[in-house]
Amino acid sequence: MHVRKTLVSLACAAALSVAALPLMTHTTPVVGLRHVHAAVSNRDINAQSFANPQITTYPTTFTKYFGYRNGVGRPEGIVIHETANSTSTIDNEVAYMQRAWPTTYAYVHAFVDHSRIINIHPTDYGVWGAGPAANARFIQLELVREHSDEDFAASINNYAYYVAYLLKQYGMGVDLADNDGAGTIWSHNAVSDWLGGTDHTDPIGYFKQWGYDMNQFAALVQQKYDALSDDGGGNNNGNGANPGQPIFDTVANQQSVDLLGVINGTATNGKYYLTDAGFTQAGTSASENGNAYRITQQATTTNGTSMYLMANASGTGQFWVISSIVSTEPRPAAAPAITRNQNVTGTLRLTSSAILHNQPGDGTFLKGLTAGTSWSVYKQATLSDESTWFNLGGNQWVAGNKGTFNQASTPPPATGGGSSVGEGEVTDFRAVAQINYVPNYGVVMWTGAGRVIPGRVLKHGTRWAVFKAKKINGQTYYNLGGDQWLQGKYVIIQ
């Protein structure tokens, strides 16, 4: 037998001329009987005319920043959780999760109760809340358990508002996934049923205690969604402060781009994450100096600062930086045709940071090269768009407009005769030496004093950068860096 109170009907409420339908407090349960709450409907919730709450943002303690499977800032929906703890409060839940996640391996984006919404992690990035499939796709929110009909109704109102707010913010519609495994609103139970990686069933059981279900919740979300302005702002007026982390600025506009870039990082230029409250600094860019990335988004802040979203090769965003510290190149869908390709030798000194490509003019990137460095050049290619590219060895190409090319003097004969090198004179000489000996065998290396270097044998067919040349007893030797010399008669200069 269950004790159930009766909700005052709307007709009665109208007759009594009250502004809002009161949700009665619980009657005291009979000893020995399980207390079941009265059914709460969306009609009851709407009759209370609840105000939408302020969204407060706390500093995150979750350090495992990762983008969703489609990239940073590109969630596919929202998972609806409930805490399953009838004795806890929203403050206790937040404190516990922020403290214990390294051992519990659980973290969500926000908690909601009857009076507050507390965000604890940027919703542009994933969390650990419902198994690998959901973590890679969805924002995840927790509902705190309540103990009266009125508080439950208020918490559902707040929950539906925040879900609608986020769906609007990320350009997603309202679509319940529980019934068919496709949509933008997922109970944890639906994740278990349709995606796997978890076996939780919340919030189904908790909702049922109040005579509520996911279909009603989705309907309330749709109502809240329709009431929001197009920018998703509602009456939120921002997401509150983020104490302990400096807020750089909020976004005025944002657009997709497709570039390649090398970061010129320093200890004073920051890396940023785009949070609900704006750009939040997460360390400096010094560790990223010289690193290459794709660039998939450009944002302009309210104070006019341009920001780039740095992404990996597949386009998944990693973090944001100020665009002025990035040396960029276009990322073509296909490389222009090579109209001329010739062997050259010389040195390319970079005047700006550059991308090292797999092929001249293509959209790949191998690594970044920093400004001020010099590189040996072995080939020069001209493309159909009239751009010039230099080969730095193997499948490593850099755009010619990134530096100054100094072509080497004509190399000595391929046999290593070295008539251009005077006896005993050390001459700067930049080229590539290919070992020309016997297949499956190699040649030894020598010190400048004429001693064999133990264990240094260069195999036939391998190629090595040359920096200097000198002649001893009429024979040319080539320097491969440091005090390492190679007999010219065993190489072909390229």
pLDDT digits (tens, 9 = 90+) for 92-131: 999 999 999 999 999 999 999 999 999 999 898 899 999 9
CA proximity to 397, closest of 328, 434, 348, 330: 348
Boundary residue ending a domain (192, 227, 262): 227
| 235 found inside a domain | no
Check residue 22 and give its pLDDT: 42
- Residue 113 shares a structural domain with residue 191: yes
Q: Which CATH number fits the domain that encloses residue 162?
A: 3.40.80.10
Residue 190's SS3 state is helix
Residues 128 and 107 in one domain: yes
Flag whether 357 is in a domain: yes
Sheet holding 185-187, edge to edge: 55-57, 117-119, 110-112, 138-143, 77-82, 185-187
Q: What is the pLDDT of residue 198?
A: 95
CA 275 to chain CA centroid, Å, is 12
Q: What pLDDT tens digit does each residue of the chain (494 aa) get?
A: 333 333 333 333 333 333 333 443 333 333 332 345 668 999 999 999 999 888 888 888 898 888 899 888 889 999 999 999 999 999 999 999 999 999 999 999 999 999 999 999 989 889 999 999 999 999 999 999 999 999 999 999 999 999 999 999 899 999 999 999 999 999 999 999 999 999 999 999 999 999 999 999 999 999 999 998 654 444 333 333 333 334 457 888 999 999 999 999 887 778 888 876 788 777 788 888 899 999 999 999 888 889 999 998 888 888 999 999 999 998 888 888 988 888 888 899 999 899 999 889 988 888 898 888 888 888 899 999 999 999 988 788 999 999 999 987 544 333 333 334 445 678 788 888 888 777 777 888 888 877 888 888 888 889 888 888 887 777 788 888 888 888 888 887 76
pLDDT at residue 237, rounded to an integer: 31
pLDDT of residue 327: 92
Buried b or exposed e, range 423-450, using 16+ CB within 10 angstroms: eeeebebbbbbbbbbeeeebbebbeeee
Please tell me whether residues 21 and 141 are part of one structural domain.
yes
Q: In what order do the strands lie in the sheet with 426-435?
A: 452-459, 442-446, 485-487, 475-479, 463-472, 426-435, 491-493
The values of phi and psi at residue 133, to 5°, are -65, -45
CA–CA distance, 485 with 445 (Å, rounded to integer)? 6
Alpha helices in 105-148 (DSSP H): 131-135
DSSP state string for 244-312: TS-B---EEEEEEEEEEEEE---SSSEEEEEETTEEEEEEESGGGTT-EEEEEEEEEETTS-EEEEEE-
Q: Outline where DSSP puts E strands in 68-135.
A: 77-82, 110-112, 117-119
Residues 280 and 133 in one domain: no
H/E element, 45: helix 42-47
Question: 90 and 139: one domain?
Answer: yes
Does residue 44 contact residue 17 with C-beta atoms inside 8 Å? no
Instruction: Examine residue 203 and say whether the peptide bond preceding it is cis (omega within 30 degrees of 0).
Output: yes
Q: Please tell me whether residues 318 and 186 are part of one structural domain.
A: no
Q: Torsion angle of alpha carbons 184, 189, 194, 198, nearest 10°?
A: 110
Query: Does the predicted TM-score (pTM) go above 0.95?
Result: no
Structural domain of 299: 251-330
Domain assignment present for 246: no
In a domain, residue 413? The reply is no
**Cα 284 from Cα 320, distance rounded (Å):** 11
- Distance between CA atoms of 406 and 365, rounded to whole angstroms? 24
Nearest in space to 216 (alpha carbons), one of 227, 207, 206, 228: 207
CB 135 within 8 A of CB 75: no
Q: Is 4 within a domain? A: no
Give the SS3 label for residue 381: strand
Alpha helices in 57-213 (DSSP H): 90-104, 131-135, 149-169, 188-194, 204-209
Q: Are residues 381 and 257 in the same domain?
A: no
Residue of 305, 306, 303, 392 whose CA lies nearest to 355: 392
**Which tokens hold the place of 338?**
């090579």
Please check whether residues 389 and 298 belong to one and the same domain.
Answer: no
| CA–CA distances in Å: residue 294 to residues 10, 255, 282, 326, 487 | 58, 15, 20, 11, 44
Rg (CA), the chain: 33
Structural domain includes residue 242: no
2, part of any domain: no
* Domain count of the fold of the chain: 4
Residue 389, beta-bridge partner list: 381, 399
* CATH number of the CATH domain containing 264: 2.30.30.170
Q: Could you count the other beta carbons within 10 Å of the beta carbon of residue 277?
A: 19
**For position 474, which CATH number holds?**
2.30.30
C-alpha 458/C-alpha 444 separation (Å) is 6
| Torsion (CA) 414, 417, 418, 423 in degrees, nearest 10 | 160
Predicted pLDDT at 34: 35
Q: Is the same domain home to 70 and 192?
A: yes
Give the separation between CA 91 and CA 352, rounded to whole angstroms. Answer: 51
Entry field: residues in the chain: 494
Helix, strand, or coil here: 15?
helix
Confirm whether 109 is domain-assigned: yes
Does residue 157 sit in the same domain as residue 296?
no
